[in-house]
Amino acid sequence: MKNALKVGLAVGILTSIWQLIMVGTGWLVRPQTFPLFYVVILIQIAVMIWGLKLTAAEHGYGRQVAFGTGASVVAAIFIFLYSLLLMLVLFPGLINQMKAMRAQTLSDAGVTEQQIAAALALQTPAIQAFQGFLGTVVTGVLATLVIAIFQRKKA
């Protein structure tokens, strides 16, 4: 359990640093650089590979999947809390910048004003943070299901 906590915190801290870089450079609110945000997935997968190597000698497939899932939940909790801190305290105008970018992107795609308003109503700090939580758990579980095939105790 100690290793799962360590791996989860490593994922949370490293992806939070990337979030801070994205926000600090303005890349998060520019449509052309926003896709760089998804580097968080590569960070999570790399740390999960490292983490599962830590316990591969002792754990079979099922225990590795449980380990990776636990680490992903720890990371997701960290990321949820950090995302709220980022949007509500460190960069309180960030959510409005994100909404403006989203509105422009949707408008450029020909979406009606009414549909844009409905989409933006769902873009709140809490919902954004929860999406980060869910994305971290889902990515972690899916990555673990694959990585554990290779990083596990062989019978």
Single-letter residue type at 9: L
DSSP 101-121: HHHHHHHHTT--HHHHHHHHH
pLDDT, tens only, 32-78: 888 899 999 999 999 999 999 988 888 999 999 999 999 999 999 99
Residue 67 tokens read as 């380990």
Q: Is 145 helix (H, G, I), strand (E, B) or coil?
A: helix
Candidates 98, 91, 92; CA nearest to 120 is: 98
DSSP class of 101: H
The C-alpha atoms of residue 80 and residue 87 are separated, in whole angstroms, by: 11
Q: What percent of the chain has pLDDT over 90?
A: 68
Contacts of 49 (CB under 8 A, 6+ apart): 147, 151
Q: What is the pLDDT of residues 58-71, one digit of tens each?
A: 899 999 999 999 99
pTM higher than 0.75? yes
What is the Cα–Cα distance from 25 to 91, expressed in whole angstroms?
A: 12
Q: What are phi and psi of 91, to 5 degrees?
A: -135, 70
Give the position of tokens 């873009």. 123
